[in-house]
Amino acid sequence: MSGAVLAVAVSGFVSTADAASRIEARESVSPALGRPLDVNVYVPDGMAPSSGWPVLYLLHGHGGNQNSWTTLGNIQQTLDYMISEKEISPLIVVMPAAQNSWYVDSAAVKGPGDYETALTKDLVNWVQANYPARTDKSGRAIAGLSMGGFGALRLAYSHPELYSSTVSMSGAIWNNVSEAEMKKTPDDYRLIQNAEFYKRLDKYTLGTGRILPSVGDHYDGSFGTPFNAALFNRENLFTLAEDAKEAGVQLPPSYITVGDDDGWHLWRGAISLHQTLLESGQSSQLRVTDGDHLWSLWKVVVADALEFVNGNWGAGDAPAVVAADEVVPAKTGQVPAKVEITATR
């Protein structure tokens, strides 16, 4: 089902109060952070199969939290509708609060904290201890929007043994910084990329240039303070893709979608990464759709993302090895009374 059709369909669908699915507000244990991790968990209607439900980890963007997808993204109604129409199989959806962490480990550089470890180790263990969840790679996927789109791809490429697929919606995807530009600032990168993009090579040809990490005020210390370009490069998607190519590692299939009117021009990075993945022999799909960097786009394209994830669930395989820590049961929270549908940045 296309996102546009879904947007019309869910507007007249039964309210989530009538559906048997639920959103649980929980706190998961995270030794990596040294504090609880707030998380919302979508639990579908019905009994889980003996192997457990597959699990999608759904990440928020910069300035968001665990509530973003439920209050702004219409996610519960979307899931209820697509499951009821058999567009997708029932699944658990886990939505953690990750601050403005960029989903990297940053405690060592005095950033927001070790969120990569918190999500790929602590949260996975907690979900498997507290829900009837599948424990194999074929039953686990990760997706996100904007900063979370970057995070979903990065965590999947850093831990390909954990995820069956990954989705980036309007992901904050930037090229690596060159050796000659290492000491420049994000403000310098903005000037460089603007000068290079659509630079006329001759009378008939426009160059497409690069897109560089130019939003320094958005990184919140995740890549050091001041911004450390060498650290960014080590953590960046293009480095991880090249490392996988050299090691002969197959990355999880990627679905990359972005709006053609994106205010941050993030279609530049989306196209660049898609080309890089294809050149490396990796599986990647790219969609450039009509829309800006807004929830009015994401709450629609998430339907296509869910279909992609659903199409990549496997029948089951050996559980991925995730180091176990002591898991303390968390308290179940209240189900939100309603899902608010808005269109805001």
pLDDT reported for residue 183: 86
Q: Of 65 and 14, which is predicted with more confidence?
A: 65
Binned at pLDDT 50, 70 and 90, residue 320 comes out as low
Q: Which two tokens stand for residue 21?
A: 């699915």
Binned at pLDDT 50, 70 and 90, residue 2 comes out as low
Q: Determine the Cα–Cα distance for residues 30 and 99; give it in Å rounded to an integer.
A: 14
Binned at pLDDT 50, 70 and 90, residue 3 comes out as low
pLDDT reported for residue 334: 33
Binned at pLDDT 50, 70 and 90, residue 173 comes out as very high
Q: Determine the Cα–Cα distance for residues 313 and 311; give it in Å rounded to an integer.
A: 6
Do 54 and 139 touch, CB atoms closer than 8 A? yes
Q: What angle do CA 41, 46, 52 make, to 5 degrees?
A: 65
Q: Determine the Cα–Cα distance for residues 183 and 209; give it in Å rounded to an integer.
A: 20
How many domains does one find in the chain? 1
Distance of CA 150 to the CA centre of its chain: 6
Give the CA dihedral 6, 10, 13, 17, nearest 10 degrees.
140
In-domain check, residue 275: yes
* Residue whose entry in the numeric block shows the structure tokens 């303390």: 328
In-domain check, residue 187: no
Closest CA to 150 of 127, 132, 134, 173: 173
Tell me what the pLDDT averaged over the chain comes to: 87
In-domain check, residue 243: yes
Q: What angle do CA 310, 315, 319 make, to 5 degrees?
A: 105
In-domain check, residue 182: no
Give Cβ neighbours of residue 343 (< 8 Å, ≥ 6 apart): 294, 295, 296
Q: What angle do CA 98, 102, 103 make, to 5 degrees?
A: 60
Model-level pTM? 0.87
pLDDT beyond 60 at 344 = no
Helix axes 3-11, 295-311, angle to 10 degrees: 110
DSSP assignment string, 130-173: HS-B--BGGGEEEEEETHHHHHHHHHHHH-TTT-S-EEEES---
For the chain, give me the number of helices (H) and strands (E)? 11, 10
In-domain check, residue 190: no
Q: Count of alpha carbons within 13 Å of 124, Cβ hemisphere only?
A: 27
Distances (CA, A) of 49 to 54, 91, 133, 205: 10, 11, 9, 57
Q: Are strands 37-43 and 22-28 parallel, antiparallel or unpaired?
A: antiparallel
Mean pLDDT of 266-295: 97
Name the phi and psi angles at 268, rounded to 5. -60, -50
* Residue whose entry in the numeric block shows the structure tokens 């911004």: 227
Range 260-264, long-range pairs (CB < 8 A, 24+ positions):
260/288, 260/289, 260/290, 260/291, 261/290, 261/291, 261/292, 262/170, 262/291, 262/292, 262/293, 263/292, 263/293, 264/172, 264/215, 264/293
Mean pLDDT of 54-64: 98
In-domain check, residue 147: yes
Which of 37-46, 112-121, 203-212, 264-273 shows the lowest per-residue confidence on average (mean pLDDT)?
203-212
In-domain check, residue 189: no
Q: Which two tokens stand for residue 101?
A: 């962490």
State the residue range of the domain holding 65: 3-173+232-311
Q: Which two tokens stand for residue 126?
A: 């907690």
In-domain check, residue 180: no
Mean pLDDT of 182-191: 86
Binned at pLDDT 50, 70 and 90, residue 6 comes out as low
pLDDT reported for residue 53: 98
CATH assignment at residue 271: 3.40.50.1820
Mean pLDDT of 88-112: 98
pLDDT reported for residue 17: 46
Mean pLDDT of 35-51: 97
